[in-house]
Structure 1
Amino acid sequence: MLLAIDAGNTNVVFALMDGHVLRGRWRIATDPRRTGDEYAVWLLQLLAIRGVTPNQVDQIIISTVVPRALHNLEILARHYFDVEPLIAGQGRAAFGIDIDVDEPRSLGADRAVNAIAAHEKHSGDLIVVDFGTATTFDVVDFNGAYKGGIIAPGINLSLDALVGNTAKLPRIAIEIPKGTSVIGRNTEDQMLIGVFWGYVAMMEGLIARIRAEIGRPAKVIATGGLAVLFDEATQIFDAVDADLTIDGLAILAERAVSK
């Protein structure tokens, strides 16, 4: 079985793949100080609940945008699973795609992996929108080349900035505003309308500009925690794929076997 690990700025996601079947997915808050031993105490118990022992995991692949977290995840793989992990973008797990930007090495592993999975699963030109700590828009052409994109503050980051820099605004939960009016009648409604519908307008506007610049039809693939919520409020997405990053890691791991 494959253990795919996606270390993001907010959470580290662990996904257990048995062939093409997802056996389990778990997440823990990202903390670069967390040791391999601490990961093991937490993860091995979760695997045991699913009836999985460490020796059943024969392949591990790690993608991280938090360099300080990598060493401890490698320790987890080597000491508790007796597996030398693949690192997305390196060695046998090289991305293998054309990264057509000014500084290819600066591209985050998660975005490259998303591009790989999106091209594998969908045809034509693609725009991949990933809702994470930041919201990223990535353009993948019909040949699978990564052509660039946009980085915008994530909606929770925007809300944190709003609440943290004002004296009287309360913290609110992100949800679809009730009713159809965009004129709020109280402070909480006004905040929610501004943050939520403002974010939808930003997405729709940026995607329209990207499509116009590409000059060809482009499918929009959404992933990340809030993709499903926004899918209820806009028609801009052609597909919502919560497992896009994990699928990309599984593709890289499968390719590595044949190298």
Structure 2
Amino acid sequence: MLVLLPPSEGKAASGRGAPLKPESLSLPGLAEARAAVLDELVELCAADEDKAREVLGLSEGLRGEVAKNTELRTAGARPAGEIYTGVLYDALDLASLEAPAKKRAARALLVFSGLWGAVRMSDRIPSYRCSMGVKLPGLGALGAHWREPMAQVMPEVAGDGLVLDLRSAAYASAWKPKGGIAGRTATVRVLHAPTRKVVSHFNKATKGRIVRSLLESGSAPANPVELVEALRELHYVVEVEAPTKAGRAWSLDVLVDEVH
């Protein structure tokens, strides 16, 4: 099982240890594309703080994030599983998982990123600010920048098993499962059962709990049908929409009564 996650906008502070070693990151086929984004982002933030803030879509109160980006090559790095915070990651709570579940997380979880393309939880990265929706002056829209390199590396990463896609639309733009991979892919919406509406905060928290439940249970669904069975065994209420055409993903709605 491969689980595709969005990053969090907010991130923990960089560590005090060794700085980023780009060559150590997973998915080495993304190295050239990563270097291009890193170079332009650091240069932009070092040259013109106001322009950088505009490009990155940051408010005045987040001006410090620009300065953070100027130090990406020298700041201490920490495992991505510690850098990403926010609602989904708080609910997932990787640090409190037992050892077997942590090992499954290391194998299964892949976080998409505007700066790095995608990273594993063990990849050591500095804290940064650069969403997939950013359009850099030189490289252009990052979603488009990542499509070709992602198309090259992701089929091997996806393997021949289930792909559980929990990314938001901006991050899904960087890679869309195609062909046989799409038929093994399931996307998930979380709906407030009484209203059948998606609530952003609630949606993220429930997705984090779903991933945690799967990791803790040791469940290893090989396809979307087995995923539905596993989630129902974990007491989730799931509605399924199978693809009507080849090359499309399965759609799952998880219904929850309480919004919290």
| Greater radius of gyration (CA) | 1
TM-score normalised by length of structure 1: 0.29
Relative to its length, the structure with more strand (as a share) is 1
Q: Higher relative CO (CA 8 A, sep ≥ 6), structure 1 or 2?
A: 2
